[in-house]
Amino acid sequence: MSETVVSIRGLVKKYKEITALDGLSLEIKEGEVFGLLGPNGSGKTTTISCLLSLLEYNSGEIEIFGKPMTPVSYDIKRDIGIIMQNVAVFEELTVFENIDYFCGLYIKDKKTREKYVEEAIEFVGLSDFKKFYPKKLSGGLLRRLNIACGIAHKPKLIILDEPTVAVDPQSRNKILEGIEELNRAGATVIYTSHYMEEVEQICTRIAIMDKGKKIAEGTTAELKKMIKNTETISIEVRELSEDIMKQMSELPHVYKAEQKESKLYIYCSGGKHNLIRVLNVLQEHDISFGRVYSELPSLNDVFLEITGKALRDKEE
Ligand code: ADP
Ligand code: MG
Protein backbone atom coordinates (compact mmCIF):
# COMPACT_ATOMS: atom_id res chain seq x y z
CA MET A 1 0.00 0.00 0.00
CA SER A 2 1.32 3.43 -0.86
CA GLU A 3 2.03 6.09 1.73
CA THR A 4 -0.28 8.97 2.50
CA VAL A 5 1.40 12.17 1.37
CA VAL A 6 -1.29 14.67 2.31
CA SER A 7 -4.02 14.27 4.89
CA ILE A 8 -6.57 17.02 5.47
CA ARG A 9 -9.29 16.46 8.05
CA GLY A 10 -12.28 18.67 8.74
CA LEU A 11 -10.75 21.85 7.40
CA VAL A 12 -12.79 24.99 8.03
CA LYS A 13 -11.73 28.40 6.77
CA LYS A 14 -13.81 31.54 7.09
CA TYR A 15 -13.06 34.94 5.61
CA LYS A 16 -15.19 37.06 7.97
CA GLU A 17 -18.73 35.88 7.21
CA ILE A 18 -17.81 33.85 4.07
CA THR A 19 -17.21 30.17 4.75
CA ALA A 20 -14.68 29.29 2.07
CA LEU A 21 -13.97 25.75 3.36
CA ASP A 22 -16.70 23.89 5.16
CA GLY A 23 -15.24 20.77 6.76
CA LEU A 24 -13.06 19.58 3.89
CA SER A 25 -11.25 16.25 4.18
CA LEU A 26 -8.79 14.85 1.63
CA GLU A 27 -6.33 11.98 1.59
CA ILE A 28 -3.69 11.98 -1.12
CA LYS A 29 -1.40 8.99 -1.68
CA GLU A 30 2.13 8.81 -2.96
CA GLY A 31 2.31 8.67 -6.77
CA GLU A 32 -1.09 10.16 -7.45
CA VAL A 33 -1.96 13.02 -9.76
CA PHE A 34 -4.76 14.25 -7.59
CA GLY A 35 -7.23 16.68 -9.15
CA LEU A 36 -9.20 19.30 -7.26
CA LEU A 37 -11.96 20.22 -9.66
CA GLY A 38 -14.48 22.94 -8.97
CA PRO A 39 -15.92 26.17 -10.33
CA ASN A 40 -14.43 29.55 -9.47
CA GLY A 41 -14.99 30.35 -5.82
CA SER A 42 -15.41 26.72 -4.73
CA GLY A 43 -12.35 26.94 -2.43
CA LYS A 44 -9.47 25.38 -4.38
CA THR A 45 -6.93 28.16 -3.80
CA THR A 46 -7.97 28.48 -0.17
CA THR A 47 -7.34 24.73 0.26
CA ILE A 48 -3.84 25.06 -1.20
CA SER A 49 -3.03 28.12 0.92
CA CYS A 50 -4.16 26.38 4.12
CA LEU A 51 -2.33 23.20 3.14
CA LEU A 52 0.91 25.16 2.87
CA SER A 53 0.27 27.07 6.10
CA LEU A 54 0.26 30.31 4.14
CA LEU A 55 -3.15 31.04 5.57
CA GLU A 56 -4.54 30.55 9.07
CA TYR A 57 -7.64 28.41 9.29
CA ASN A 58 -10.42 28.11 11.84
CA SER A 59 -10.25 24.39 12.48
CA GLY A 60 -9.04 21.10 11.04
CA GLU A 61 -5.85 19.09 10.85
CA ILE A 62 -3.27 18.97 8.09
CA GLU A 63 -0.44 16.48 7.79
CA ILE A 64 2.11 16.29 5.00
CA PHE A 65 4.52 13.34 4.72
CA GLY A 66 2.99 12.07 7.96
CA LYS A 67 3.89 15.17 9.99
CA PRO A 68 1.73 18.10 11.12
CA MET A 69 2.16 21.06 8.77
CA THR A 70 2.89 24.40 10.46
CA PRO A 71 4.20 27.77 9.20
CA VAL A 72 7.69 26.79 10.41
CA SER A 73 7.79 23.27 8.93
CA TYR A 74 10.79 24.08 6.75
CA ASP A 75 11.81 20.44 6.42
CA ILE A 76 8.42 19.69 4.86
CA LYS A 77 8.42 22.79 2.66
CA ARG A 78 11.77 21.78 1.14
CA ASP A 79 10.06 18.75 -0.40
CA ILE A 80 7.14 20.72 -1.82
CA GLY A 81 7.04 22.58 -5.12
CA ILE A 82 4.33 25.16 -5.36
CA ILE A 83 3.03 26.84 -8.48
CA MET A 84 0.45 29.43 -7.48
CA GLN A 85 -2.44 30.66 -9.60
CA ASN A 86 -1.02 34.18 -9.85
CA VAL A 87 2.40 34.12 -11.48
CA ALA A 88 4.99 35.17 -8.90
CA VAL A 89 8.38 35.98 -10.43
CA PHE A 90 10.80 38.90 -10.12
CA GLU A 91 10.48 41.38 -12.98
CA GLU A 92 14.07 42.58 -12.50
CA LEU A 93 15.57 39.08 -12.79
CA THR A 94 16.01 37.09 -16.02
CA VAL A 95 14.48 33.67 -16.62
CA PHE A 96 17.69 31.99 -15.45
CA GLU A 97 18.11 34.23 -12.42
CA ASN A 98 14.51 33.75 -11.32
CA ILE A 99 14.76 29.97 -11.35
CA ASP A 100 18.18 30.16 -9.70
CA TYR A 101 16.73 32.33 -6.93
CA PHE A 102 13.84 29.99 -6.10
CA CYS A 103 16.01 26.89 -6.41
CA GLY A 104 18.59 28.58 -4.15
CA LEU A 105 16.07 28.75 -1.30
CA TYR A 106 16.48 24.98 -0.96
CA ILE A 107 19.64 23.94 -2.80
CA LYS A 108 22.72 25.61 -1.37
CA ASP A 109 25.43 23.72 -3.25
CA LYS A 110 26.31 25.88 -6.26
CA LYS A 111 27.22 23.09 -8.69
CA THR A 112 24.09 21.06 -7.94
CA ARG A 113 21.97 24.17 -8.19
CA GLU A 114 23.34 25.13 -11.58
CA LYS A 115 22.58 21.65 -12.86
CA TYR A 116 19.06 21.72 -11.44
CA VAL A 117 18.32 25.16 -12.92
CA GLU A 118 19.51 24.05 -16.35
CA GLU A 119 17.38 20.93 -16.11
CA ALA A 120 14.31 22.96 -15.15
CA ILE A 121 14.85 25.35 -18.08
CA GLU A 122 15.18 22.44 -20.44
CA PHE A 123 12.16 20.74 -18.93
CA VAL A 124 9.74 23.64 -19.50
CA GLY A 125 11.24 24.43 -22.90
CA LEU A 126 12.70 27.87 -22.11
CA SER A 127 16.25 27.21 -23.33
CA ASP A 128 15.97 29.98 -25.94
CA PHE A 129 14.75 32.49 -23.35
CA LYS A 130 17.28 32.15 -20.51
CA LYS A 131 18.34 35.79 -20.64
CA PHE A 132 14.86 37.20 -21.18
CA TYR A 133 13.13 39.31 -18.56
CA PRO A 134 9.60 38.19 -17.60
CA LYS A 135 7.88 41.14 -19.25
CA LYS A 136 9.26 39.99 -22.63
CA LEU A 137 7.57 36.58 -22.30
CA SER A 138 4.12 35.65 -23.62
CA GLY A 139 1.50 34.52 -21.11
CA GLY A 140 2.21 30.87 -21.83
CA LEU A 141 5.98 31.21 -21.48
CA LEU A 142 5.52 33.16 -18.25
CA ARG A 143 3.44 30.29 -16.87
CA ARG A 144 6.22 27.88 -17.83
CA LEU A 145 8.76 30.08 -16.01
CA ASN A 146 6.48 30.06 -12.96
CA ILE A 147 6.45 26.26 -13.11
CA ALA A 148 10.23 26.01 -13.54
CA CYS A 149 10.67 28.16 -10.41
CA GLY A 150 8.44 25.77 -8.47
CA ILE A 151 10.00 22.48 -9.54
CA ALA A 152 13.73 23.18 -10.00
CA HIS A 153 14.65 21.88 -6.53
CA LYS A 154 13.11 18.48 -7.38
CA PRO A 155 10.31 18.35 -4.81
CA LYS A 156 8.50 15.13 -3.90
CA LEU A 157 5.13 16.86 -3.81
CA ILE A 158 4.17 19.34 -6.53
CA ILE A 159 1.12 21.55 -6.18
CA LEU A 160 -0.19 23.47 -9.17
CA ASP A 161 -3.08 25.89 -8.81
CA GLU A 162 -4.80 26.44 -12.17
CA PRO A 163 -1.54 26.53 -14.14
CA THR A 164 -3.20 26.63 -17.56
CA VAL A 165 -5.66 29.50 -17.19
CA ALA A 166 -5.40 31.83 -20.18
CA VAL A 167 -2.47 30.07 -21.87
CA ASP A 168 -2.19 29.18 -25.55
CA PRO A 169 -2.83 25.54 -26.55
CA GLN A 170 0.86 24.86 -27.20
CA SER A 171 1.93 25.94 -23.72
CA ARG A 172 -1.07 24.16 -22.24
CA ASN A 173 -0.04 20.86 -23.80
CA LYS A 174 3.56 21.40 -22.75
CA ILE A 175 2.41 22.02 -19.18
CA LEU A 176 0.13 18.96 -19.06
CA GLU A 177 2.79 16.69 -20.56
CA GLY A 178 5.32 18.12 -18.11
CA ILE A 179 3.10 17.27 -15.15
CA GLU A 180 2.73 13.69 -16.34
CA GLU A 181 6.47 13.43 -16.80
CA LEU A 182 7.19 14.74 -13.29
CA ASN A 183 4.72 12.20 -11.96
CA ARG A 184 6.39 9.36 -13.87
CA ALA A 185 9.68 10.50 -12.37
CA GLY A 186 8.18 9.91 -8.91
CA ALA A 187 6.50 13.14 -7.82
CA THR A 188 3.06 13.20 -6.24
CA VAL A 189 0.99 15.95 -7.82
CA ILE A 190 -1.97 18.03 -6.68
CA TYR A 191 -3.61 19.82 -9.56
CA THR A 192 -6.46 22.29 -9.29
CA SER A 193 -8.55 23.35 -12.25
CA HIS A 194 -12.00 24.31 -13.36
CA TYR A 195 -11.33 22.69 -16.75
CA MET A 196 -12.82 19.22 -16.48
CA GLU A 197 -11.19 18.02 -19.73
CA GLU A 198 -7.70 18.60 -18.31
CA VAL A 199 -8.47 16.98 -15.03
CA GLU A 200 -9.94 14.02 -16.86
CA GLN A 201 -6.83 13.81 -19.04
CA ILE A 202 -4.11 13.78 -16.38
CA CYS A 203 -5.57 13.00 -12.95
CA THR A 204 -5.56 9.53 -11.42
CA ARG A 205 -8.12 10.57 -8.81
CA ILE A 206 -10.40 13.57 -8.55
CA ALA A 207 -12.26 15.39 -5.80
CA ILE A 208 -15.05 17.62 -7.05
CA MET A 209 -15.60 20.70 -4.90
CA ASP A 210 -18.47 23.08 -4.59
CA LYS A 211 -18.96 25.84 -2.00
CA GLY A 212 -16.07 24.68 0.17
CA LYS A 213 -17.23 21.09 0.31
CA LYS A 214 -16.18 17.90 -1.40
CA ILE A 215 -19.26 16.70 -3.25
CA ALA A 216 -17.77 13.63 -4.94
CA GLU A 217 -14.47 11.77 -5.20
CA GLY A 218 -13.00 8.95 -7.27
CA THR A 219 -11.40 8.07 -10.59
CA THR A 220 -13.05 9.55 -13.68
CA ALA A 221 -14.77 6.21 -14.34
CA GLU A 222 -16.01 5.96 -10.74
CA LEU A 223 -17.37 9.49 -10.81
CA LYS A 224 -19.25 8.84 -14.04
CA LYS A 225 -20.80 5.70 -12.58
CA MET A 226 -22.29 7.76 -9.74
CA ILE A 227 -24.79 9.41 -12.07
CA LYS A 228 -27.74 8.10 -14.00
CA ASN A 229 -26.79 9.77 -17.29
CA THR A 230 -25.03 7.47 -19.76
CA GLU A 231 -25.67 9.29 -23.02
CA THR A 232 -26.81 12.74 -24.13
CA ILE A 233 -28.16 13.03 -27.65
CA SER A 234 -28.39 16.46 -29.25
CA ILE A 235 -29.92 17.24 -32.62
CA GLU A 236 -30.26 20.48 -34.54
CA VAL A 237 -33.92 20.66 -35.40
CA ARG A 238 -36.79 23.17 -35.64
CA GLU A 239 -39.11 23.54 -32.70
CA LEU A 240 -41.09 20.36 -32.10
CA SER A 241 -44.70 20.07 -30.97
CA GLU A 242 -45.61 19.09 -27.43
CA ASP A 243 -46.89 15.75 -28.71
CA ILE A 244 -43.60 14.89 -30.33
CA MET A 245 -41.67 15.98 -27.23
CA LYS A 246 -43.93 13.76 -25.14
CA GLN A 247 -43.24 10.85 -27.48
CA MET A 248 -39.49 11.51 -27.12
CA SER A 249 -39.62 11.58 -23.35
CA GLU A 250 -41.53 8.30 -23.29
CA LEU A 251 -38.94 6.39 -25.33
CA PRO A 252 -37.23 3.58 -23.39
CA HIS A 253 -34.17 4.67 -21.32
CA VAL A 254 -34.97 8.36 -21.82
CA TYR A 255 -35.34 10.28 -18.55
CA LYS A 256 -35.54 13.78 -19.96
CA ALA A 257 -36.20 15.47 -23.30
CA GLU A 258 -35.96 19.21 -23.84
CA GLN A 259 -35.48 21.85 -26.52
CA LYS A 260 -33.08 24.75 -26.11
CA GLU A 261 -31.90 27.21 -28.76
CA SER A 262 -33.12 25.18 -31.77
CA LYS A 263 -31.55 22.00 -30.44
CA LEU A 264 -33.22 18.90 -29.13
CA TYR A 265 -31.60 17.26 -26.09
CA ILE A 266 -32.39 13.69 -25.08
CA TYR A 267 -30.88 12.40 -21.84
CA CYS A 268 -30.60 8.63 -21.55
CA SER A 269 -29.83 6.21 -18.77
CA GLY A 270 -28.60 2.87 -20.08
CA GLY A 271 -29.87 1.08 -23.17
CA LYS A 272 -28.47 0.64 -26.64
CA HIS A 273 -29.68 2.15 -29.91
CA ASN A 274 -31.14 5.21 -28.18
CA LEU A 275 -30.12 7.43 -31.08
CA ILE A 276 -31.89 5.26 -33.65
CA ARG A 277 -35.15 5.38 -31.69
CA VAL A 278 -34.95 9.16 -31.46
CA LEU A 279 -34.29 9.51 -35.20
CA ASN A 280 -37.15 7.12 -35.94
CA VAL A 281 -39.56 9.47 -34.17
CA LEU A 282 -38.35 12.38 -36.30
CA GLN A 283 -38.68 10.33 -39.47
CA GLU A 284 -42.17 9.18 -38.49
CA HIS A 285 -43.24 12.85 -38.42
CA ASP A 286 -41.27 13.67 -41.55
CA ILE A 287 -39.08 16.20 -39.75
CA SER A 288 -35.72 17.08 -41.26
CA PHE A 289 -32.77 17.76 -38.99
CA GLY A 290 -29.20 19.06 -38.98
CA ARG A 291 -26.16 17.87 -37.05
CA VAL A 292 -26.55 14.98 -34.62
CA TYR A 293 -24.36 14.21 -31.61
CA SER A 294 -24.31 11.37 -29.12
CA GLU A 295 -22.07 12.07 -26.14
CA LEU A 296 -20.91 10.01 -23.17
CA PRO A 297 -21.19 11.72 -19.80
CA SER A 298 -18.46 14.21 -18.91
CA LEU A 299 -17.39 15.37 -15.46
CA ASN A 300 -19.62 18.34 -16.15
CA ASP A 301 -22.60 15.98 -16.16
CA VAL A 302 -21.43 14.56 -12.84
CA PHE A 303 -21.29 18.06 -11.41
CA LEU A 304 -24.60 18.99 -13.00
CA GLU A 305 -26.41 15.99 -11.61
CA ILE A 306 -25.08 16.38 -8.08
CA THR A 307 -25.39 20.17 -7.75
CA GLY A 308 -28.05 21.04 -10.32
CA LYS A 309 -25.79 23.57 -12.05
CA ALA A 310 -23.15 23.55 -14.77
CA LEU A 311 -19.47 23.37 -13.90
CA ARG A 312 -18.36 24.93 -17.14
CA ASP A 313 -18.24 28.70 -17.17
CA LYS A 314 -20.51 29.78 -20.00
CA GLU A 315 -18.08 32.36 -21.40
CA GLU A 316 -15.26 29.83 -21.92
P1 ADP B 1 -11.24 28.96 -6.08
O2 ADP B 1 -9.76 28.95 -5.97
O3 ADP B 1 -11.88 27.61 -6.16
O4 ADP B 1 -11.72 29.86 -7.18
P5 ADP B 1 -11.09 30.48 -3.61
O6 ADP B 1 -10.43 29.60 -2.62
O7 ADP B 1 -10.26 31.53 -4.24
O8 ADP B 1 -11.82 29.58 -4.72
O9 ADP B 1 -12.33 31.22 -2.92
C10 ADP B 1 -13.28 30.54 -2.12
C11 ADP B 1 -14.25 31.55 -1.54
O12 ADP B 1 -13.57 32.40 -0.62
C13 ADP B 1 -14.90 32.47 -2.55
O14 ADP B 1 -16.20 32.74 -2.14
C15 ADP B 1 -14.04 33.71 -2.47
O16 ADP B 1 -14.79 34.85 -2.86
C17 ADP B 1 -13.66 33.76 -1.00
N18 ADP B 1 -12.34 34.39 -0.77
C19 ADP B 1 -11.15 33.97 -1.27
N20 ADP B 1 -10.14 34.75 -0.83
C21 ADP B 1 -10.69 35.69 -0.04
C22 ADP B 1 -10.19 36.78 0.73
N23 ADP B 1 -8.87 37.06 0.76
N24 ADP B 1 -11.08 37.54 1.43
C25 ADP B 1 -12.38 37.26 1.42
N26 ADP B 1 -12.94 36.24 0.73
C27 ADP B 1 -12.12 35.45 0.00
MG1 MG C 1 -8.35 29.68 -7.29
Which atom of ligand 1 is nearest the CA belonging to 13?
A: 12
Judge if 4-224 and 231-296 fold alike in CATH terms.
no
Q: Which of 220, 221, 219, 217 is nearest to 209 (CA)?
A: 217
Which atom of ligand 1 is nearest the CA belonging to 47?
A: 6
Distance 54 CA to ligand 2 centre (A): 14
CB of 44 closer than 6 A to ligand 1? yes
CB of 41 closer than 6 A to ligand 1? yes
What pLDDT is attached to residue 1?
63
Q: What are phi and psi of 240, to 5 degrees?
A: -100, 155
What pLDDT is attached to residue 313?
52
What pLDDT is attached to residue 166?
82
The distance from CA 247 to its chain's CA centroid, rounded to whole angstroms, is: 39
From 18, 37, 160, 303, give the residue whose CB has the most ligand 1 atoms within 8 Å, as the site to mutate: 18
CB of 38 closer than 6 A to ligand 1? yes
Q: Report the DSSP pairing between strands 188-193 and 157-161.
A: parallel
Q: Is-contact 189 113, C-beta < 8 A?
A: no
Q: Name the stretches of the chain with pLDDT < 50.
A: 314-316
CATH architecture for residues 4-224:
3-Layer(aba) Sandwich (3.40)
**Topology given in CATH for the domain delimited by 231-296:** Alpha-Beta Plaits (3.30.70)
What pLDDT is attached to residue 278?
98
Domain limits, the chain: 4-224, 231-296
Determine which residue's CA is closest to atom 12 belonging to ligand 1. 20
Three-state secondary structure readout of the chain: CCCEEEEEEEEEEEECCEEEEEEEEEEEECCCEEEEECCCCCCHHHHHHHHCCCCCCCEEEEEECCEECCCCCHHHHCCEEEECCCCCCCCCCCHHHHHHHHHHCCCCCHHHHHHHHHHHHHHHCCHHHCCCCHHHCCHHHHHHHHHHHHHCCCCCEEEEECCCCCCCHHHHHHHHHHHHHHHHCCCEEEEEECCHHHHHHHCCEEEEEECCEEEEEECHHHHHHCCCCCEEEEEECCCCCHHHHHHHHCCCCEEEEEEECCEEEEEECCCCCHHHHHHHHHHHCCCCCCCEEEECCCHHHHHHHHHCCCCCCCCC
Tell me which long-range contacts 199-205 makes (C-beta under 8 A, separation of at least 24): 199/35, 199/37, 199/299, 200/298, 200/299, 201/176, 202/33, 202/35, 202/176, 203/33, 203/34, 203/35, 204/31, 204/32, 204/33, 204/34, 205/32, 205/33, 205/34, 205/35
